[in-house]
Structure 1
Amino acid sequence: MQTDSSFTFVLFGGTGDLSMRKILPALFEAHRAGGMLADSGKIVAVARHVADRGEYLQWVDEHVKPHASKNGVDEAAWTSFLARIELVKIDLGNPEDFAQLRDAIQDMPGIRVFYLATGPSLFVPICHALAAVGLNHNARIVLEKPLGYDLKSSNAINDAVGEIFAEEQIYRIDHYLGKEPVQNLLALRFGNALFEPLWRREWVESIQITIAEELGVEARGDFYDNTGALRDMVQNHLLQLLAIVAMEPPHSMDSDSVRDEKLRVLRALKPIDPHEIGKVAVRGQYHSGVIRGNAVPAYATEHGVKPDSSTETFVALKVEIENWRWAGVPFFLRTGKRLADRVAEIVVNFRAVPHSALGASALRAGANRLVIRLQPNETIRLYCLAKQPGEGMNLASVYLDLAFDRFFREAQMEAYQRLLLDVINGRLALFVRRDEQEAAWRWVEPILNEWKASTKLPKPYAAGTWGPAAASAMLAQHGTCWLEEEN
C-alpha cells in the first residue's frame, strides 16, 4: 500500500488518550514500514496544555512510544518520525485562534486531513472555525464516534458538518471495519466459490457477533453513564459488523458499491416491536466481582456514575433480517463490560447434516462452524468433523486455520493504520456513510425509548462472568448457546 500522496495530518486532541494509544502509533507504524507515507507528509498536533514543540515531543516520547511497536521501537525510525511532527497551540473554544492554524499549515504540501479526536460537542464548532479561515477546501475530515446521542442529535451534527464539508470529504471512522479478519471475510465470501453458495438461510442456522471487554468504564464514568452499551457499541460497531457479514456481493469494492450493500442490510433489519423487547433484548449492569484474581467494584460505585444509575453495561439482542437471503436466521449480538474475557468474534453456525450415516456423533455441536476472531488474536477458523485415529468411526471436531503469518511475510496491519492510510489516500469504502448511520439509529431508537420509559432496572451480573443469565436463556429458546458455553 505504497503512496506518493503528500499530506498534512492535523490532529485535534493531540494530547488525548486516543491520540496517544491509537492514532500516533498507527502513523508511526506506517512511517516505519517505509513507502506508506510520503516523505513530505507532516503531522500537526493541535493542543493547548503544552508549552512548545519540544515539550510536546517529550510527551509523545513518554506516552506514545510504549504503544508504538509490538517488537520494540527502532530509534532511527522513531527520530525521523518525530521530525514529521509540529505543534500548534490554540484554544478550540476560540474561533479566532484558528487563524494561527491556517498560517502554520498554509505552505505545507498535499491534502489536508483534519482528525477530530475530541468529544462530539466540539465537532461542529471546529468545523465552523475551519471554514471561517478557509480550511475546508482540499481537505478531509475524520469524525470519531459517538456521533450524536440519538437520531435527532446525529442528524444535527451531520447537517452542520455537511454544510461545510461535502459527503465525500467526511470520514466517519469505525475501527472494527479496518481489522484484518473483517477484510478477509470479504475475501473469503466474494473471492471463493466455496463459501458464497452456503452463505444463506438454507445452510446457516444462526450467527453470533460478540464484542466483550474485561475493562469497566475506567475514567469515562461521566461519559458512559449518559451513553450506555447500546449507544456506545451496538449502534455502530455491532451493526456495522452485522452489515458486513450479511451484505450481498457488491458490484465492485469501490466505496459506494460496498456501502450501498451495507445500507440495504441495515434497512432490512426487522423493526423491534416495543411489546416484544423483553423477548429479544437483554440489558444488564455489572456488580462487583473478580477478574483474573482481582476484585473489581460495581458499576454504580465507579467514579462519575450515579449511584442509582440504570445505564446498561451489557446488551444482548436477537436480530432478524427481512430479505430472501436471511429470512428466519437469528443474528445474536452481544457486548458488555467487565465480562469474563476480552474477545471480539463472529461465529457462523452452519446447519447440521440432514441425515447422518456416521451416527449421532456427526450431529454433534462444534462442527460446521466458521469463527472469525477479531481480537485479541486475529484468526479465521473453519470447524468440521474428522475421524479420530484408531478403530471405529469415532468423530472429533477439528479446524482448518487461516494462519496469516504462515502464508504472508508482511505483518498484519492494525485497524487504525489501515484506516488512516485510507483517509490520506481518499478511500472511503471502510468508512460509514451518513445514510448508514441514520438507518442504524432508526433501528436502535425504539429499544432506547422503551428502556428509558421502563421502570425495570438492568439485570445484574457479577463482574468476571459472561453477563446476565437471561442472555443465555434467550439463545436456549432457539436451541443454541453462546460459543463459550458449549465448551
Structure 2
Amino acid sequence: MKKATNQALVIFGASGDLTYRKLLPAVFDLFMNNLLPDGFAVLGISRSQYTDHAFREKMKKGIKEFSNFKNAESDKINNFLSKIFYLSIDTENGEEYVLVKEKLTELNRKFNLGCNYIFYLSTPPSLYASIPKFLYGQGLTFQQKGFRRIVFEKPFGHNLLSAKELNKLLLEFFEEDQIYRIDHYLGKETVQNLMVTRFANGIYEPLWNRNFVQHVEITAAENIGVEGRGEYYDHAGALRDMVQNHLLQMVSLVAMEPPIKITPQDIRYEKMKVFRALHPLSEYDLKNHVIRGQYTASTIRGKHYPAYREEPHVAKDSRTETYVAMKFFIDNWRWADVPFYIRTGKRLPTRVSEVVIHFKPSPLPLFRHEGSSDKLNNQLILRIHPDEGILLKTGMKVPGNDYLVKSVNMDFHYSELSNQYIPDPYERLLLDCMTGDNTLFMDGEAVEETWKFVQPILDYWENHPEAPLYGYPAGTWGPDVADRLIEGKNDTWRYPCKNLADDGMYCEL
C-alpha cells in the first residue's frame, strides 16, 4: 500500500465515541503496518477539557479494545501516543480558531509536517457549515503551502435541499477535490471486491446483464436496535441512515459499466451514470414498491426487547421507519427491466450485508428438482459481512437412477486467506485520504443524485400520513408484506444466516 507524505490529522469532536472506537484505533493500525509518514501528528479538538496526557490515556484504552493490534507492545503504543495532542476550544466560536492555527504551526515545526493538514469532522452535522468557515477565516483551507483536505461523516444533508445548500457552501471554502465525504461501507474489502469479481473474471461479466439476470437483491440487516441513538435516529430513519448512502453505493458498484481505467475519476464517472439512470419513482411506485416498517416489542431466547417507540429519546407516537424495502429499476441498456430489490432494517434476526445476483432459469425444465420449486434458482451471493466471501448456488444430479437435481453450494471464504492482513474500513479510507485517493469517497454531484432519488419517498410519507407503517416483531425479517415486492412464482427474499454457506439449514442467527 502507498505510504503518505508528512501531515497532521486534525479531528474535530475528538472526545466522542467515533474517535475512541474507530478513528484512533485505525490510525494506530496504520502505524503498526508502517504506513504512516515519518512526520505525523494527530490533533484532537473538542469542547471537553483534556490535557495531552489525559487524552492519550483515553485513546490508549480505545486502542487496546478496538485495534487490530490490541496486544501490541507497550513501547509501540507509547511511541504512537507521543504523536497525539489535544486542544480544547468552543468549536462554535470562530474567534477561538486562532488557537487551532497556532497549535498547528507549533506541530508543523516539531514534526516537519510540510503544512499538510486533514480536517476530520467527527461532529454533529449542525457544525458541517460553521467549522469550514472558521478554518477559512484563519487561512487554514488554502493550499499555497501543503495540501488541505476535509472529511465529513454521514449524513451529508438531511434532504435534497440541505445537501445542495451544504455543497454550495463548502465550495466557498474548499475545492471539490479537497472534500472527502466518507462512507465506511465502501472501505470494506468485500465491497471493493464487487468490482474485482466482475471485471477480473471473464466468466461473470458476459452474464452480468438483463439477458441472464432475473433480479438483483441487496440486504443490509442489523440485529441491534437504536442503541442509545434515539435522538438522532428519530430524525433520520432507515431511509436517510442507510438507503441514501450505503445501499445506493452498493447498487452503483453492482450496476456500473467497466471503467476505462482504475482511477478515481473513471470509477466515479461510471458510478454517476448509474445514479443518473435510476428510474424516478412514480406515485404508484411510492405506494406499492416502497415498504416501511418499525420494530415492535418481542421476546427472543427468553430476553425481552422493547419496541422502537419504547427506546430512550424516541417519540411515543413516532412514525420513523426502522425498516425499508423497495423495488426499482435502472434505465440503461444493461439493466432495462431488471428489478433491483434493496432492504435494510434494525432488530432483524442477524447482522448481515450481502448482494445476491439471481440468474434466469434454464429456458426448458428438463429435470425434476428437489424441493417444492419446479426450477433451479442459480444465485451468486457476494457476502459483505460477516463470514465474508462468495457463494455460487448451482444444480447437481442427486446420486441414483433418476435425473433429480438439487441445489449445491460452491463457496469461498475470506477467512481462508489466513496469511493476509485485512484492514478495517476506516484504516483503508483514512489512508486513501492521506494519500489523496478519493476513489471510495462520494463527490458532491453523486450525493445530490442519490438524494434526488430518495427525496420523493420522504415527500410522499410526509404528505400522506395514511401511508402504511408496518409493525414487525423484533427478531424477525421485517413486515410480511415486503415479500410481495419480489416478482415470480416461488421467488422471495433470501433469508441468510450468519454463516455464508449454511442457508437452507438450521443456523445460529
TM-score range, shorter chain: over 0.9
TM-superposed deviation, 1:71: 6.5
Which residue matches 2:507? none
**Equivalence map 1:362-381=2 (5 Å):** 367-381=377-391
Q: Determine what percentage of the aligned residue pairs are the same residue.
A: 39
Could you tell me whether the CA contact under 8 Å between 1:181 and 1:380 is conserved in 2? no
The whole-number CA distance in structure 2 between the counterparts of 1:200 and 1:407 is 30
Gaps of 5+ in 2: 497-502, 505-509
Question: Equivalent of 1:382, from 366, 383, 392?
Answer: 392
Which residue matches 2:482? 471
Which amino acid is 1:31 matched to? F
The whole-number CA distance in structure 1 between the counterparts of 2:30 and 2:408 is 37
Moved over 6 A (4+): 362-366
* Worse overlay, 395-404 or 21-30: 395-404
Which residue matches 1:10? 10
TM-superposed deviation, 1:406: 3.5
Which residue matches 1:169? 178
TM-superposed deviation, 1:112: 0.9
Asked whether 1:32 is paired with 2:36, we answer no
1:14-54: CA deviations, max 9, x gaps?
A: 111111121111111111122x1112211111122133011
Could you tell me whether the CA contact under 8 Å between 1:370 and 1:383 is conserved in 2? yes
Which amino acid is 1:249 matched to? P
Which residue matches 1:67? 66
* Worse overlay, 286-295 or 23-32: 286-295
Question: Equivalent of 1:432, from 430, 437, 442?
Answer: 442
Asked whether 1:82 is paired with 2:42, we answer no
The whole-number CA distance in structure 2 between the counterparts of 1:77 and 1:2 is 22
Could you tell me whether the CA contact under 8 Å between 1:291 and 1:340 is conserved in 2? no
1:246-279: CA deviations, max 9, x gaps?
A: 0011111111111111111111111111233221
TM-superposed deviation, 1:161: 1.0
TM-superposed deviation, 1:309: 0.9
Question: Equivalent of 1:239, from 222, 232, 248?
Answer: 248
**Equivalence map 1:192-341=2 (5 Å):** 192-341=201-350
Question: Equivalent of 1:482, from 468, 493, 506?
Answer: 493
1:350-372: CA deviations, max 9, x gaps?
A: 11122244433597677521111
Could you tell me whether the CA contact under 8 Å between 2:2 and 2:435 is conserved in 1? no
Which amino acid is 2:454 matched to? V
TM-superposed deviation, 1:451: 0.6
Which residue matches 1:458? 469
TM-superposed deviation, 1:413: 1.5
Alignment TM-score, normalising by the size of structure 2: 0.91
1:95-134: CA deviations, max 9, x gaps?
A: 1111111111122504211110111110111001111111
Could you tell me whether the CA contact under 8 Å between 2:223 and 2:348 is conserved in 1? yes
Could you tell me whether the CA contact under 8 Å between 2:186 and 2:440 is conserved in 1? yes
1:483 partner SS: coil
1:68-98: CA deviations, max 9, x gaps?
A: 1276344333222212211122110111111
TM-superposed deviation, 1:295: 1.1
The whole-number CA distance in structure 2 between the counterparts of 1:158 and 1:226 is 21
Which residue matches 1:445? 455
The whole-number CA distance in structure 1 between the counterparts of 2:133 and 2:291 is 40
Which residue matches 1:131? 136
The whole-number CA distance in structure 2 between the counterparts of 1:406 and 1:193 is 23
The whole-number CA distance in structure 1 between the counterparts of 2:486 and 2:169 is 42
TM-superposed deviation, 1:342: 0.8
The whole-number CA distance in structure 2 between the counterparts of 1:387 and 1:33 is 48
**Distance of aligned partners of 1:371 and 1:397 in 2 relative to their CA distance in 1, 3 Å threshold:** same
**Equivalence map 1:98-113=2 (5 Å):** 98-106=97-105, 107=108, 108=111, 109-110=113-114, 111-113=116-118
* Worse overlay, 294-303 or 473-482: 473-482
Could you tell me whether the CA contact under 8 Å between 2:297 and 2:473 is conserved in 1? yes
**Distance of aligned partners of 1:183 and 1:414 in 2 relative to their CA distance in 1, 3 Å threshold:** same
1:345-402: CA deviations, max 9, x gaps?
A: 1111111122244433597677521111111222122222234456654433333323
TM-superposed deviation, 1:473: 2.0
Alignment TM-score, normalising by the size of structure 1: 0.95
Aligned-CA RMSD value: 2.0
Which amino acid is 2:359 matched to? F
2:165 partner SS: helix
1:403-461: CA deviations, max 9, x gaps?
A: 33435722112211111100000001110011111111111111110011112241111
**Distance of aligned partners of 1:59 and 1:310 in 2 relative to their CA distance in 1, 3 Å threshold:** same
The whole-number CA distance in structure 2 between the counterparts of 1:394 and 1:43 is 63
* Worse overlay, 418-427 or 51-60: 51-60
Which residue matches 1:359? 368
Which amino acid is 1:439 matched to? E
Could you tell me whether the CA contact under 8 Å between 2:305 and 2:474 is conserved in 1? yes
The whole-number CA distance in structure 1 between the counterparts of 2:183 and 2:270 is 17
Gaps of 5+ in 1: none
**Distance of aligned partners of 1:136 and 1:351 in 2 relative to their CA distance in 1, 3 Å threshold:** same
The whole-number CA distance in structure 1 between the counterparts of 2:72 and 2:356 is 36
Which amino acid is 1:481 matched to? T
1:100 partner SS: helix
The whole-number CA distance in structure 1 between the counterparts of 2:71 and 2:127 is 35
1:194-232: CA deviations, max 9, x gaps?
A: 111000011111111111111111221111111111111
Which residue matches 2:419? 409
* Worse overlay, 178-187 or 102-111: 102-111
2:174 partner SS: coil
